[in-house]
């Protein structure tokens, strides 16, 4: 797919490096030719690519440049406000497992909440007398803001009250069904967009533990993707089908554990993980791998590097579940390279953390502290703060697994040393100090 201006196109393009180059060339040409009216939109498009890459600061900068050229009541201005809202959300409320961070005690959370409130007021003002016209309008103004909110809420409700979980899930599904009903009436209507909405329904149901509904929505999504021959979309659906079998409690990206602040608690080295987390009897490695291999065929045909990286990333996780850490290490390094080549920095750093964890699983005392510290520095400077914090919590989760489940303190200590380095790189010295306390307690 040729990199285009649509966020949905970029989501399926699977090559953010080419997308960035294309948008930069178009912007340079517009400036050179004096096409002043086109420049704000091109800055906005480039901001979208940076946002998807995980380069939050560059995304924010380009959205600011775009803002000066849009009329206050224009559709473009409203769309830009939604991009800016998404930027704030992804920076401060996105964990590696795709759930919301919801760190309500952090300064960043309240700071973001105030900015989001201001943006929400401005978005409401801009929406007056404006009606949805295109699929892009529907995606940016109605779908993505809701889906990220409901993902977090569904996950939080998963271990709570069943009635609340059902209520939150149904609200999300009803909104996506409404979006489906609207899509046929809008400019640019296509089957892939419907496939994407059904894919989101499957994703929500999977996070809520509603296994029977997941396959129904995935079948619908695949049917619509097939109609448009959207191969990356089909591949993503197959990944979700595999995830349901590979990580029934969480996601492969989070090693089937829940990433929360309780992983930082020291107590008396008590068990901070539930029996459902990491390895459990519900995981079906062979069936999950079959789905991933089928997805790989579609990604290979599409030339989708990010999709292929996701397959390698999940294969490494399955290898680790079986205890084959040396094989897992090879697959994780393969995922790193594929993500880097495609310019997906969020996935690249996630795969790098998995590589560090696989190396500990394979060799015990091999830890790359400078590399982990650099990941933290990326999160503090130009990357996703909450996403990087979640990577640190993933180190902690695996540290507890080695300390408590496997009784291998050397490997557990290695994980907490990596977490310490990452938190120091982020400038989160209180969290680094917590990890050091855990290390001290585990060695006494």
Residues 6+ apart with CB under 8 A from 385: 56, 91, 92, 108, 379, 426
Pairwise CA distance, residues 211 & 167, whole Å: 17
CA atoms within 13 A of residue 7's CA, in its CB half-sphere: 23
Between 44 and 270, residue with greater pLDDT: 44
Under 8 Å between Cβ of 273 and 257: yes
**Predicted confidence band of residue 323 (pLDDT cuts 50, 70, 90):** very high
Closest CA to 142 of 94, 113, 178: 178
Task: Return the pLDDT at 336.
Answer: 97
- Whether residue 250 contacts residue 278, with contact meaning beta carbons closer than 8 Å, is answered with no
For 231-253, letters b (16+ CB in 10 Å) and e give bbbbbbbbbbbbbbbbbbbbbbb
**Mean pLDDT score of the chain:** 85
Contact 8, 134 (CB under 8 A): no
Say yes or no: domain 1-130 is CATH 3.40.50.
Answer: no
Q: Output phi, psi for 302, to 5 deg.
A: -85, -10
Question: With bands split at pLDDT 50, 70 and 90, how would you rate the model's confidence at 319?
Answer: very high
The Cα 432–Cα 423 span in angstroms is 5
pLDDT digits (tens, 9 = 90+) for 78-106: 788 888 888 887 887 788 887 776 554 44
Q: CA dihedral in degrees (8, 1, 44, 136; nearest 10)? A: -30
Q: Are 157 and 168 in contact (CB under 8 A)?
A: yes
pLDDT at 269: 44
Query: Do 400 and 263 touch, CB atoms closer than 8 A?
Result: yes
414 neighbors 364 (Cβ within 8 angstroms) = yes
**Is it the case that residue 155 has pLDDT exceeding 70?**
no
Alpha helix positions (H), 322-364:
325-342, 345-363
Q: What is the pLDDT of residues 340-393, one digit of tens each?
A: 999 999 999 999 999 999 999 999 878 999 999 999 999 999 888 889 999 999
pLDDT tens for 7-44 read 656 666 678 998 899 899 999 999 999 999 899 999 99
pLDDT average, residue stretch 57-69: 91
pLDDT attached to residue 12: 62
* Residues linked to residue 187 through DSSP beta bridges, in sequence order: 134
The pLDDT > 90 percentage for the chain reads 54
Question: Using CA atoms, how far apart are residues 302 and 342, in angstroms rounded to an integer?
Answer: 13
Q: Cα(409)–Cα(388) distance, rounded to whole angstroms?
A: 25
- The band of 338, judged by pLDDT with boundaries at 50, 70 and 90, is very high
Mean pLDDT, to the nearest integer, of 165-171?
A: 85
More confident residue, 155 or 270: 155
Parse the chain into domains and list their residue ranges: 1-130, 132-229
| Chain centroid, CA 171 distance in Å | 22
C-alpha closest to that of 263 among 156, 405, 416 = 416
Rounded Cα distance, 410 and 397, in Å: 15
Residue 134 has φ and ψ, to the nearest 5°, of -125, 165
Token pair 């998807």 is found at: 52
CA-angle at 392, arms to 199 and 423, nearest 5°: 140
Q: What are phi and psi of 34, to 5 degrees?
A: 70, 30
* Model pLDDT, residue 405: 85
**Cα(182)–Cα(128) distance, integer angstroms:** 19
pTM of the model: 0.91
């Amino acid at each position: 797919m040729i990199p285009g201006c649509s966020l949905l196109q970029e989501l399926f393009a699977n090559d953010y490096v080419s997308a960035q180059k294309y948008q930069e060339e178009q912007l340079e040409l517009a400036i050179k030719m004096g096409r002043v009216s086109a420049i704000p939109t091109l800055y906005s498009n480039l901001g979208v690519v940076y946002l998807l890459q995980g380069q939050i600061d560059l995304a924010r900068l380009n959205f600011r440049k775009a803002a000066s050229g849009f009329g206050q009541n224009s559709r473009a201005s409203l769309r830009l406000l939604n991009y800016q809202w998404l930027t704030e959300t992804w920076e401060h409320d996105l964990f590696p497992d795709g759930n919301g961070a919801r760190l309500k005690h952090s300064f960043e959370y309240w700071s973001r909440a105030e900015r989001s409130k201001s943006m929400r007021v401005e978005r409401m003002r801009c929406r007056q007398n404006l009606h949805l016209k295109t699929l892009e309008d529907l995606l940016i103004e109605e779908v993505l803001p809701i889906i990220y909110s409901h993902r977090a809420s569904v996950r939080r409700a998963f271990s709570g009250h069943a009635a609340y979980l059902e209520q939150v899930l149904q609200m999300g599904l009803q909104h996506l069904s409404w979006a489906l009903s609207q899509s046929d009436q809008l400019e640019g209507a296509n089957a892939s967009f419907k496939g994407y909405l059904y894919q989101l329904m499957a994703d929500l149901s999977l996070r809520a533990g509603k296994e029977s509904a997941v396959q129904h929505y995935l079948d619908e999504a695949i049917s619509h993707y097939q109609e448009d021959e959207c191969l990356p979309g089909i591949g993503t659906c197959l990944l979700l089908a595999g995830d349901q079998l590979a990580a029934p409690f969480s996601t492969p990206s989070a090693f089937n554990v829940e990433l929360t602040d309780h992983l930082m608690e020291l107590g008396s080295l008590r068990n901070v993980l539930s029996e459902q987390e990491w390895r459990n009897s519900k995981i079906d490695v062979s069936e999950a791998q079959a789905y991933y291999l089928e997805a790989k065929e579609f990604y290979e045909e599409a030339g989708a590097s990010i999709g292929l990286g996701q397959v390698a990333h999940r294969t490494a996780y399955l290898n680790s579940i079986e205890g084959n850490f040396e094989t897992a290490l090879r697959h994780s390094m393969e995922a790193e390279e594929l993500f880097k080549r495609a310019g997906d920095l969020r996935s690249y750093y996630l795969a790098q953390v998995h590589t560090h964890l696989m190396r500990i699983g394979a060799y015990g005392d091999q830890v790359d502290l400078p590399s982990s510290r650099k990941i933290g520095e990326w999160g503090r400077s130009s990357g996703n703060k909450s996403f990087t914090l979640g990577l640190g919590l993933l180190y902690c989760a695996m540290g507890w697994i080695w300390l408590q489940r496997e009784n291998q303190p050397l490997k557990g200590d290695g994980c907490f040393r990596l977490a310490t380095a990452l938190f120091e790189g982020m400038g989160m010295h209180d969290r680094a100090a917590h990890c050091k306390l855990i290390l001290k307690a585990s060695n006494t």
